[in-house]
Structure 1
Amino acid sequence: MDIVEKRIQLSRSTLHITMDRFNKRVRIEDYLGHFQDCVEESLKAADNISAEKIIFKARTENILELLSKGFLYEGSIDKFFLGSDCHFLVKYTQDQRRTSSHWIKEDEILENVQKLPTKVELEAPPSTYIGRKAEEIDAVKLAELYGKVFEIYPTPMNEPEYVRKCMKSGTVYYMYEHDGVIVSAASAEINYFYRNAEITDCATLPDHRQYGLMKHLIEKLESHLVSHDIYCIYSIARALSFGMNAALHQQGYYYRGRLANNCFIFDKLEDMNLWVKNYT
């Protein structure tokens, strides 16, 4: 899978870009310096890999300039940059990438999710389910879980070496085991510089979804993050997944927008919902 993170140094600016050939997109993770140069470089990077979507994680002061360049506003993350908001502005290079065939259905799912009560007290799963923080030794079994749950995934989580690489880079995983098999897992990708984290890689085997394991895992990850002074927590969930969006809503996350045709996941290119929770 061809996903490369690059730091590009220009004469008047610096960009941190993810070049994602698999998902046919370019994502500007961070930038510093002359903003017009950053925009022009992002468009060049997209052209170099024939990207269909350019995603800018922009600061508030740069929204209008991106809008003037034809970018569209799709969502935000509260307090992402050390207390300042992050805004997702995007540009499409192909009509079919811009158009979503499931948008109305996803609106209906979101509406039904937001009718659910929040801060529901969690019932403990049966004693046969063992929850704990994952270690590198669990990489093979974690990869097996992701391979079973997702036919397609934006990153190669079905490869043990990739899972180990993520762990070594600081990603934290929590999991549930049942009869020695990992049946549910989730992770937190942590940015210690900006004090934020993304809850991601959420997966539960179908036969074990009746016990609310994912809600428990999210709670465990949140406790870990707050204990390490990470107070901005967000997640990007499949817009077509009632269960995952419901889990986030009921754990006190707020909906902040939808990223159209954002990545290949589950079995196709899908829209993704942004959910955010802050502890400040």
Structure 2
Amino acid sequence: MACSWLSAVVDDFNPHNQWGTSRTIHLESLNAEVEISLYNKRLTILNYSFLTNEGILDLADLIENLCSKYDLGKAWGKIRRKDLELYTSQGFTAEAYIDNFFIDEDAVICAKYFGDQRKLSLTSQHNQEILDRLDLIQITGHTPELPAGYSYRIAEAQDVEVLSSLLSQVFKTYPYPIDQTYLLSTLEHTVYGLVYNPEGALVAAASAETNGEFKNAEMTDFATSPDERGKGLAPFILYNLEKVLQEHEYRTAYTIARSSSFSMNKVFKSAGYHYTGTLTNNCNISGGFEDMNVWCKSH
């Protein structure tokens, strides 16, 4: 392997944004795009294409050196199922999967940990207890409805101020920026569903972060004001976001939900999603690193 290119790429990375700094790497052996999040202490494989048999070796060396230099405890990515053996040969493990993520092929969410602390789940027993409770839930096919006087709409630019305020109220920390400027920048590829109460205050929100190339979407950003919970607002938003995806012929919807939240996991189980695995200490949310459950639904 050419150590000169490795040193140059690692030295040049220089993550300047705590949320995420990405770089595209072009070598004879591979093309790849990786992102470093200092906030989440995590490296994400965004895209990759192996051009020779050396590709996986070069990518693994790059990841190990970046994680060492920037003190990152986890590397992860959504990889094609056909490449799973290549990644496991380099110390990655499969944590979950997403049906038809690549239209013609499942994605396997693989991870490699650097240091013992990050790979040790502190809530595994509690996580399993929640999954056991969810096994008892029956899927009814009931169409969610809003309480009388509540209204629903898709977010537009003028809604980002109150959306940012709601997310900040609900989450002590969040894996990504939730300021107005960032939220405004996401409107081109993210559909936000909003519920307002009879007084006109935003009380619940969620989003579908779309991938037009592969026709999949991550259902995320679920937030409900504490005094508005238990009214079925999250299931209603999820149902209506799915309708938008169906209208645009999206094939797969998935979520990465906090494993400690019975109510949030229940929303997806009740909506016909199936559980595919848990991502250990995956991101910094609500004040610390948490395990996240993956649920998906494919049409």
Under TM normalisation by the shorter chain, which class is it? over 0.9
Name the CA shift for 1:6/1:127 in 2 (closer, same or farther; >3 Å): farther
Report the equivalent of 2:201.
Answer: 181
Q: How does 1:198-237 map to 2 (within 5 A)?
A: 198-237=218-257
Q: Hey, what's the Cα distance between the residues in 1 that align with 2:267 and 2:251?
A: 19
Aligned to 1:118: 139
Determine the C-alpha separation between the residues in 2 that align with 1:55 and 1:241.
Answer: 22
Residue 176 of structure 2 is aligned to residue 155 of structure 1:
yes
Q: So what's the TM-score if we normalise by structure 2?
A: 0.89
The 10-residue stretch of structure 1 (248-257 or 25-34) with the greater mean CA deviation from structure 2: 25-34
Secondary structure at 1:156 match in 2: coil
SS in 2 for 1:43: helix
One-letter amino acid of the structure 1 residue matched with residue 294 of structure 2: L
- Measured after TM superposition, the shift of residue 16 of structure 1 is 2.1
Aligned: 1:30 with 2:47: yes
Opposite residue 15 of structure 1, the aligned amino acid is A
Query: Partner of 2:294 in structure 1?
Result: 274
Q: In structure 2, which of residues 190, 193, 196 is the aligned counterpart of residue 171 of structure 1?
A: 190
8 Å Cα contact 1:154-1:264 kept in structure 2? yes
Determine if contact 2:19/2:40 at 8 Å carries over to the other structure.
no
Equivalent residue number for residue 97 of structure 1: 118
> Mean Cα displacement is larger for which, 139-148 or 4-13?
4-13
Q: Which residue of 1 aligns with 2:77?
A: 56
Q: How far 1:118 sits from its partner (Å)?
A: 1.1
Structure 1 residues without counterparts, runs of 5 or longer: none
Instruction: Give, in whole Å, the separation in 1 of the partners of 2:23 and 2:196.
Output: 36
Partner SS, residue 91 of structure 2: coil
* 2:92 paired with 1:71: yes
Query: CA–CA distance in 2 between the matches of 1:194 and 1:84?
Result: 10
For residues 106 and 274 of structure 2, what CA distance do their matches in structure 1 show? Answer: 14
Residue of structure 1 equivalent to 2:30? 13
The answer on whether the counterparts of 1:119 and 1:252 sit within 8 Å (CA) in structure 2 is: no
Q: What letter is aligned with 1:176?
A: V
What is the alpha-carbon distance in structure 2 between the residues aligned to residue 50 and residue 110 of structure 1?
A: 32
Aligned residue pair count: 277
CA distance in 2, matches of 1:120, 1:208: 23
Native 8 Å contact 2:194 2:204 kept in 1: yes
Structure (1/2) with the larger strand percentage: 1
Q: Kindly state the Cα deviation for residue 123 of structure 1 after the two structures are TM-superposed.
A: 4.5
CA displacement, residues 72-95 of structure 1 (integer Å, 9 cap, x when unaligned):
221111110122010111111111
Kindly indicate whether the alpha-carbon contact (under 8 Å) linking 1:14 and 1:38 is maintained by their aligned counterparts in 2.
no
Q: Residue 24 of structure 1 contacts residue 51 of structure 1 at CA under 8 Å; is this kept in 2?
A: yes
Q: Which residue of 2 aligns with 1:241?
A: 261
Question: 3-state DSSP class of the match of 1:80?
Answer: coil
- Is the aligned partner of 1:255 residue 2:275? yes
Structure 2 CA distance, aligned partners of 1:235 and 1:15? 24
State the AA in 1 paired with 2:191.
V
Q: Distance in 1 between matches of 2:95 and 2:144?
A: 35
8 Å contact 2:193–2:206 — kept in the other structure? yes
Within 2, Cα distance between the matches of 1:145 and 1:223? 24
Unaligned runs of 5+ in 2: 1-17
Tell whether the 8 Å contact from 2:144 to 2:236 is kept in structure 1 after alignment: no
Maintained 8 Å contact 2:96/2:110 = yes
Q: CA RMSD in A?
A: 1.4
